[in-house]
Amino acid sequence: MADLETQVVVVGGGATGTAVLRDLALRGIDAVLVERADLGTGTSGRWHGLLHSGGRYVVKDPVSATECIEENRVLRRIAPHCVEDTGGLFVLLPDNDQAFGDAFVEACARTGVPCEELRPAQARRREPLLTPRLTRAFAVPDGTMDGWKLIGGFVADARARGARVLVRHPVVGMERDGDRILAVRARDAATGEDRLIGCQWVLNAAGAWAGRVAALAGGELRMAPGKGAMVVMVGRWVRGVVNDCRMPGDGDIIVPVHQVAILGTTDKETDDPDDNSVDPAEVDFMLDSAAELVPAIAGGRVLRAFSGSRPLYKAGDDDAGSRDLTRAFFVLDHGGRGGPGNLLSIVGGKLTTCRQMAERTVDALVARMGLTAPCTTATTPLPGADQGVHRLAEPLATVERQAGYGELVCECELVSRRRIEAAVDQGATDLDDLRRQLRLGFGPCQAAFCGWRAAAIVDERRPGATEPLANLERFLAERWRGQRATTWGDGAVQALLNQAIYRGTFDLAPAGGGRGTA
Amino acid sequence: MRADVVVVGAGPAGLATAVALAEAGREVRVIARGNGFTHWAPGAVDVLARAGGRPVDHPSDGLPLLPARHPYRLVGEPLLRRALDRFQLLTAAAGLTYEGSLDANRRQVTALGTLRPTCLLPAPAARPLDGRVAVVGLDGFRDFAPELCARGLRAAGHDASARSVAPPPWGHARHFHAVDVARAVDDPGWRARLADRLGPATRGAGVAVVPAVLGLAGGHQAWADLERRVGVPLVEAALAPPSVPGMRLYQVWLARLRQLGGRLQLGFPVTGVEVADGRVTTVVSEGASRPVATRCAEVVLATGGVAGRGIRAGRDGTLVEEVAGLHVEGFGDRMGFFAEGFLDDHPLGAAGVAVDDQLRPLDAGGAPAPGGLRAVGGLLAAHDPTAEGSREGVALATAARVAELLAPDPSPTKG
């Protein structure tokens, strides 16, 4: 006997899973999404924030490039509030293959990615910190995207249309009868109790973790996650996205997003998608690579580094038939692969194309369900779309309009008390969830001043929901994890000053150490 | 410019050194980048809260557990004791009363409701938490959450409850900081109106815990006056920076320095020293338009460790002393700087300049170099001010040691 009944269970609360959930909701198909942690905590919360123009792929992967520019336009239309229209440049350096410049221009024309060549002097007027060594520069419609905001928008829209979302409910099993999954067993992480969700279909959108989810259903899926590390700089450094104009490779991009610049990326094969470690050599490599494009960055302060697991899937020969779609992502029907007949896995892809992936996946599902329900996600705006594109100055303008300086809890990211209270009222009590929703503690001081203030507000608003100092200590530990490999110079000063506040003044004890009593 | 002694740095170590030297009759000029840990730390005197990985209840008992090159071992316990005595006399004369002694640590209430160990407590933080504890905040004040504080105190076994009062009418609407409140409390009229609000909020309580904002300019006088008006003992809880109790201390040191003819130049980082015949002759600092050279007989470096910007930690694991390029033991690579846990003991926190027992910096070969140079406070190797809870104690003890060395014939105190 199931605790919940639905038509479709979606596994995974990243960009793909939430886009799928919204797509189902818009087509009137009942669905429940289960996520092992919070929304956007996997790869979708660990990326550089680039809304691809497609320029990165025009030469190497033209199909992806065309998908990117199509979806770039769609997202600007349906979710402009999640997009900052920074524009982007591809910069040809003297050490690059100079023939790549012409190849890039031709490939842009072939794939439909708008591209305008700028004279080097023009490019440097637009990006004053660019290296004077550049030989050619091409402007493309890159932008930046707030992934958490997009995911939040997908979920809000889906919920408004009847979809249900269970976060902190890892899938622990699937109940099968022959080649059908009857129900998904998810465990409430808070209570430890299992919930059985009866369903007709299961969509596995667990990304880099999709192999594990498929295995729970007796399906076979071999993922080959690629770990990509990124480095966060204090300050934006560039006005728009700056790309190294060469074949895609490690350390080829600078993305200005909110108050910071993110340098990306590396690519290492890994067996464990939960491995978020960053090697100091990767940090050095990306900093040195970025300095080729923007020399002054070499003297900048690195805030932290993080890594995410690309949901890479290497198609084998036996996949020829199930390769529904493009080279960029795959929808796999486990029914033809010896697994359950009502399980589809969606693998590969990138955040920019998440909506399109969802569309193709749900199209495939709808056909199998014998329904005819067209996709409308490309034309239906998300809640909040009427705000228009995100502008960098908007948070400050809001604070000034409301004369809300005294309300600021996180000065770096301009997070006000009332926004924290609203998020707590909607169920967020963990400081790390507030970070993703509100950008709390993202700034240069890394929660030196806002961390404990926010812990106090959570406790006032929802007494007893958390132990505030434990909440704070978890948050500080999480913030610190991304900093060890990146902390020297001014960053080291900040780290020791922060420790002087939290350990020195506030007497928080190291893990395992006892706190003093009177 | 010219000075007898130049002290570089205006944190606790620099100011304590400057005052001690001025009292010993030397002409002192302090040149500093900006304010130091007086404004960052909570205004108590930490001497030794942890040693050998364990909490220390009696700092004097913890001293033998410290490594041989620790600043306390170099200066010795008797001098540390005298330095604390002198500090208590000096501050008391200026209206700041510090309670406690080297023989037992005390507990300072914090905004988180924790009880941090420290050695000397300013009187406004020193009242015992007897009976029912009323924790009282100010509406709209971001840096003190009374319920969080009360919760912590309850966890420590106190009968604590929280409330909040609206600040009396003033010009700050909803946008104010600890220093704004402290300045308002300095005004007797505003203070009386605040007392009128604190009275009902603390009725029946044995003691009231309030944020550490009770006056800035007049030492502890505003706190004492407010306590008298409210009729309940008032305990100031330590807040995140900026620290009002620390700023009171800064003001006392600065006033005493000026009274003795010493000078302070704030906002001008020292960029180097000049050496002739193996001896420092000149300190070079940034000026408004060009570098400024100050000729002097002695230089005392009180620039702090990495946290105080006396030492710069490089991407490659090296450490550079910023003023004189003194030898600092670095790390093989930067992964050695920090521990895995944010609150753990970070190796970088203990990085510093090794000195001999006369606080003369040692070069890589262990020889003192160059002449006329001494180092005090957080800049010194072999101690971690935060992890040990030893910041002000090391500052005072090493300041006393320098004063003793540079004025070997103890003449009667001036002033």
Closest CA to A135 of A89, A176, A101, A173: A101
Burial A85-114, CB ≥16 within 10 A → b, else e: bbbbbbbbbeebeeebbeebbebbeebebe
**Segments making up each domain of chain B, as ranges:** 5-96+248-406, 128-232
Q: B414 by DSSP, 3-state: which?
A: coil
Cα–Cα distance measured from residue A262 to residue A49, given in angstroms and rounded to the nearest whole number: 8
Interchain CB distance below 8 Å, A456 and B343: no
User: A376 in a domain, yes or no?
Assistant: no
Does residue A480 sit at the B interface (CB-CB below 8 Å)?
A: yes
All residues of chain A having their beta carbon less than 8 Å from the beta carbon of residue B312 are: 489
Give the pLDDT score at A322.
Answer: 35
Q: B135 by DSSP, 3-state: which?
A: strand
Nearest by CB to residue A496, choosing from B243, B306, B389, is: B306
Q: Tell me what the pLDDT averaged over chain B comes to.
A: 95
For every residue of B83-97, DSSP letters joined together read HHHHHHHHHHHTT--
| Min Cα separation B287/chain A (Å) | 23
Q: Tell me: the pLDDT tens digits for B87-125?
A: 999 999 999 999 999 999 999 999 999 999 999 999 999
Interchain CB distance below 8 Å, A473 and B343: yes
Residue B359, exposed/middle/buried by CB under 10 A (0-12, 13-18, 19+)?
A: buried
Does residue A183 sit at the B interface (CB-CB below 8 Å)?
A: no
Domain assignment of residue A462, given as a range: 393-505
The pair of structure tokens assigned to A139 is: 């402007």
Does residue A518 sit at the B interface (CB-CB below 8 Å)?
A: yes
Cα–Cα distance measured from residue A513 to residue A516, given in angstroms and rounded to the nearest whole number: 9
Interchain CB distance below 8 Å, A508 and B114: yes
Who wins on pLDDT, B41 or A399? Answer: B41
For every residue of B167-229, DSSP letters joined together read PPS-TTTT---HHHHHHHHHSHHHHHHHHHHHHHHHTT-SEEEEES-S-STTTTHHHHHHHHH
Q: Number of CB pairs < 8 Å for A and B? A: 168
Interchain CB distance below 8 Å, B343 and A504: no
The pair of structure tokens assigned to A324 is: 């529904």
Cα–Cα distance measured from residue B363 to residue B344, given in angstroms and rounded to the nearest whole number: 29
Nearest by CB to residue B174, choosing from A407, A469, A479, is: A407
Interchain CB distance below 8 Å, A509 and B343: yes
pLDDT of residue B414 exceeding 50: no
User: A328 in a domain, yes or no?
Assistant: yes
Interchain CB distance below 8 Å, A507 and B117: yes
Q: Which one of B147, B315, B344 would you mutate to disrupt binding with A, by most A Cβ within 10 Å of its Cβ?
A: B315
CATH architecture of B5-96+248-406: 3-Layer(bba) Sandwich (3.50)
pLDDT of residue B312 exceeding 60: yes
Cα–Cα distance measured from residue A202 to residue A200, given in angstroms and rounded to the nearest whole number: 7
Residue B345, exposed/middle/buried by CB under 10 A (0-12, 13-18, 19+)?
A: buried
Give the pLDDT score at A226.
Answer: 87
User: A61 in a domain, yes or no?
Assistant: no
Interchain CB distance below 8 Å, A510 and B176: no
Give the pLDDT score at B415.
Answer: 40
| Chain B residue at shortest CA distance from A497 | B307
- Provide, for chain A, the percentages of residues in helix, strand and coil under a 3-state DSSP scheme, each rounded to the nearest 5: 40, 20, 40
Tally of residues, chain A: 518
Nearest by CB to residue B307, choosing from A453, A455, A500, is: A500
Q: Which amino acid is at A26?
A: L
All residues of chain A having their beta carbon less than 8 Å from the beta carbon of residue B305 are: 496
User: A297 in a domain, yes or no?
Assistant: yes
Q: Tell me: the pLDDT tens digits for B175-189?
A: 789 999 999 999 999
Give the pLDDT score at B53.
Answer: 84
User: A517 in a domain, yes or no?
Assistant: no
Nearest by CB to residue B112, choosing from A417, A449, A469, is: A469
Tokens 């009942």 sit on residue: A30
Interchain CB distance below 8 Å, A452 and B241: no
Q: Tell me: the pLDDT tens digits for B222-235?
A: 999 999 999 999 99
Domain harbouring A173, CATH code: 3.50.50.60
How far from A45 is each of A435, A437, B78, CA to CA, in Å? 11, 11, 57
Does residue A477 sit at the B interface (CB-CB below 8 Å)?
A: yes
| Chain A residue at shortest CA distance from B56 | A516
Interchain CB distance below 8 Å, B55 and A516: yes
All residues of chain A having their beta carbon less than 8 Å from the beta carbon of residue B54 are: none
| Min Cα separation B267/chain A (Å) | 18
Give the pLDDT score at A512.
Answer: 57
| Min Cα separation A281/chain B (Å) | 11
Cα–Cα distance measured from residue B310 to residue B402, given in angstroms and rounded to the nearest whole number: 18
Cα–Cα distance measured from residue B226 to residue B202, given in angstroms and rounded to the nearest whole number: 13
Closest CA to B14 of B272, B293, B265: B265
Nearest by CB to residue A515, choosing from B114, B334, B338, is: B114
Interchain CB distance below 8 Å, B112 and A452: yes
Closest CA to A496 of A485, A480, A472: A480
Interchain CB distance below 8 Å, A503 and B173: no
Give the pLDDT score at B155.
Answer: 96
| Min Cα separation A275/chain B (Å) | 16
| Min Cα separation A476/chain B (Å) | 7
Touching B: A residues 412-431, CB under 8 Å: 417
Domain harbouring A280, CATH code: 3.30.9.10
Bridge-based pairing state of the strands B298-301 and B311-313: unpaired
Q: Tell me: the pLDDT tens digits for B115-128?
A: 999 999 999 999 99
All residues of chain B having their beta carbon less than 8 Å from the beta carbon of residue A476 are: 342-343
Does residue A282 sit at the B interface (CB-CB below 8 Å)?
A: no
Work out the average pLDDT over B256-276: 97
Give the pLDDT score at A517.
Answer: 34
Interchain CB distance below 8 Å, B147 and A453: no
Does residue A298 sit at the B interface (CB-CB below 8 Å)?
A: no
Q: Tell me: the pLDDT tens digits for B347-392?
A: 999 999 999 999 999 999 999 878 999 999 999 999 999 999 999 9
Peptide bond between residue B370 and the one before it cis (omega within 30 degrees of 0): yes
Q: What φ, ψ does residue B141 adopt, rounded to 5°?
A: -90, 115
| Chain B residue at shortest CA distance from A480 | B342
Does residue A147 sit at the B interface (CB-CB below 8 Å)?
A: no
Nearest by CB to residue A517, choosing from B115, B140, B343, is: B115
User: A29 in a domain, yes or no?
Assistant: yes
User: A69 in a domain, yes or no?
Assistant: no
Q: Tell me what the pLDDT averaged over chain A comes to.
A: 92
| Chain B residue at shortest CA distance from A417 | B142
Within this chain, do residues A104 and A252 fall inside the same structural domain, yes or no?
yes
Give the pLDDT score at B134.
Answer: 98
Q: Count H helices, E strands: chain A?
A: 14, 24
Within this chain, do residues A30 and A159 fall inside the same structural domain, yes or no?
yes
Interchain CB distance below 8 Å, B107 and A280: no
How far from A164 is each of A5, A13, A286, A355, CA to CA, in Å? 11, 12, 41, 19
Q: Which one of A409, A471, A488 would you mutate to disrupt binding with B, by most B Cβ within 10 Å of its Cβ?
A: A488
Within this chain, do residues A131 and A156 fall inside the same structural domain, yes or no?
no
For every residue of B35-57, DSSP letters joined together read E-TTTTS-SSB---SEETTEE-S
Within this chain, do residues A411 and A498 fall inside the same structural domain, yes or no?
yes
Spell out the per-residue pLDDT of chain A, length 518, in tens.
Answer: 689 999 999 999 999 999 999 999 999 999 999 999 999 999 999 999 999 999 999 999 999 999 999 999 999 999 999 999 999 999 999 999 999 999 999 999 999 999 999 999 999 999 999 999 999 999 999 999 999 999 999 999 999 999 999 999 999 999 999 999 999 999 999 999 999 999 999 999 999 999 999 999 999 998 888 899 999 999 999 999 999 999 988 999 999 999 999 999 988 888 899 988 899 999 999 999 999 999 999 999 999 999 999 888 876 645 533 333 344 788 999 998 889 999 999 998 899 999 999 999 999 999 999 999 999 999 999 999 999 999 888 888 888 888 777 788 998 889 999 999 999 999 899 999 999 899 999 888 889 999 999 999 999 999 989 999 999 999 999 999 889 889 999 999 999 999 999 999 999 998 755 443 33
| Min Cα separation B309/chain A (Å) | 7
Cα–Cα distance measured from residue A15 to residue A205, given in angstroms and rounded to the nearest whole number: 9
All residues of chain B having their beta carbon less than 8 Å from the beta carbon of residue A457 are: 145
All residues of chain B having their beta carbon less than 8 Å from the beta carbon of residue A410 are: none
Domains identified in chain A, total number? 3
State the DSSP code for A408.
Answer: E
Within this chain, do residues A286 and A191 fall inside the same structural domain, yes or no?
no
Closest CA to A326 of A42, A68, A154: A68
| Min Cα separation B311/chain A (Å) | 9
ipTM value: 0.97
| Min Cα separation A206/chain B (Å) | 30
Give the pLDDT score at A514.
Answer: 43
Bridge-based pairing state of the strands A31-34 and A8-11: parallel
